[in-house]
Amino acid sequence: MFEHSDTINKIISKRKLSKGIHELWIFNPFVSKHTKPGQFVIIKVSEKGERIPLTIAETNGDNFRIVVKAVGKSTYELCSLKQGDILFDVAGPLGKPSEVKFYGNVLVIGGGVGIAAIYPIAKALKEVGNKLTVIIGARTIDDLIMKDEFEFADRVIKATDDGSSGQKGTVIDFMEEELRNSKYDIIWAVGPAIMMKFASEVADKHNLPIWVSLNSIMIDGTGMCGGCRTLIKNEKDGEIKYVCVDGPEFDGRYVDWDSFMKRLNQYKEQEKIAFERYLDQIGDISWL
């Protein structure tokens, strides 16, 4: 039952969802069998690779799905793999599952690649009987991933910055509109840090709890290093939490966004070196 298999971590299928965003289905029974919405894996793509966290977007039997946005060396490398390739290391599921239960009216917001992360949460929230409104957004209609996968929701708003999908504006614009017009009990928002920050400010104004999924830099993902630590504010000062084991979801109203976003830039210089070196090796990336 717990035997090593040659095909563990094999890429079963791969599909391009939009420019720079790819979907992979990976064979790994350990991950697939026990994943709950909100959890993630840590992947090391190659032998000398780094460990990067990615949300588990769905599971099906022994396979699980990830949706990856190419932003630097490791994600480019991951996106350039082909069906049948085998990932070096996959560990998970990790992190605390989302608190899925009946709340009443739930607003779920996904921005960019965060749409993939919000998908299993939205689905689970619907399954336990919540009334669900989903806002997904991207820059243009071509960037909007998984736009036809949220049919299970009571209402889906598709937002594009340029209006190319009918509704023009950012997810934050539509969020504000929703909160003005309807009564909600709780919010989930996943996307770029800056989007989650703004969403949290809006939620705060309406005195509504808002779960965000923090995408901090991680190494082990098991609470052993503190690299993912984030300042969560409370009445007095603040408390250090480990995103990998205490999260990744926190109430966005209490996240110290300023320091969180600065920590994301910790390795800017080295990331640039690694990426340029990688580009030199692979050359053309127009397929992405």
Ligand X SMILES: Cc1cc2nc3c(=O)[nH]c(=O)nc-3n(C[C@H](O)[C@H](O)[C@H](O)COP(=O)(O)OP(=O)(O)OC[C@H]3O[C@@H](n4cnc5c(N)ncnc54)[C@H](O)[C@@H]3O)c2cc1C
Binding status of residue 288 toward ligand FES by CB under 6 A? no
Look at residue 122 and give its three-state secondary structure: helix
Q: Which is nearer to another protein, 92 or 112 (CB)?
A: 92
Phi, psi of 76 (to 5 degrees): -65, -45
Q: How far is the CB of 221 from ligand FES (least distance, A)?
A: 5
Residue closest to 83 by CA, chosen among 15, 6, 4: 15
Binding mask 233-262 for ligand FES (x = CB under 6 A): ---------x-x------------------
Binding status of residue 234 toward another protein by CB under 8 A? no
Q: How far is the CB of 229 from ligand FES (least distance, A)?
A: 7
Binding status of residue 29 toward ligand FES by CB under 6 A? no
**Residue numbers of the site for ligand X (CB under 6 A)?**
40, 52-55, 66-69, 71-75, 113, 116-117, 215-218, 248, 264-265, 268, 271, 274-275
DSSP 124-191: HHHHTT-EEEEEEEESSGGG-TTTTS-TTSSEEEEEETT-TTSEES-HHHHHHHHHHHS--SEEEEES
- Report 200-219 residues binding ligand FES (CB under 6 A): 218-219
Which among ligand FES, another protein, ligand X, none contacts residue 88 (Cβ within 5 to 8 A by kind)?
another protein
Residue of 71, 128, 194, 240 that binds another protein (CB under 8 A): 240
Instruction: List b or e across 60-99, with b for residues whose CB sees 16 or more CB atoms inside 10 angstroms.
Output: eebbbbbbbbbebbbbbbbbbbeeeeebeebbbbbbeebe
What's the CA angle centered on 256, arms 252 and 261, to 5 degrees? 100
d(CA 246, CA 108): 21
Which among ligand FES, ligand X, another protein, none contacts residue 100 (Cβ within 5 to 8 A by kind)?
none
Binding status of residue 5 toward another protein by CB under 8 A? no
Residue closest to 136 by CA, chosen among 203, 188, 64, 59: 188
d(CA 201, CA 216): 19
Residue closest to 121 by CA, chosen among 109, 112, 105, 113: 109
Kindly determine how many residues on this chain lie close enough to bind another protein according to the rule CB under 8 A: 48
Exposed, middle or buried: residue 282 (CB in 10 Å: 0-12, 13-18, 19+)? exposed
The label of the residue with tokens 């309807």 reads: 182
Residue of 43, 45, 187, 228 that binds ligand FES (CB under 6 A): 228
Residue 137 amino acid letter: G
Stretch that binds ligand FES, among 69-77, 98-106, 118-126, 220-228 (CB under 6 A): 220-228
Phi, psi of 233 (to 5 degrees): -80, 145
Stretch that binds another protein, among 13-21, 130-138, 170-178, 268-276 (CB under 8 A): 268-276
Q: Is 79 annotated as a binding residue?
A: no
Q: Which is nearer to ligand FES, 24 or 218 (CB)?
A: 218
Residues that bind another protein (CB under 8 A): 1-4, 30-31, 34, 39, 44, 48-51, 73-74, 88-94, 219-220, 222-227, 229-231, 240, 245, 256, 258-259, 262-263, 265-267, 270-271, 273-274, 277
Residues that bind ligand FES (CB under 6 A): 218-221, 223-228, 242, 244
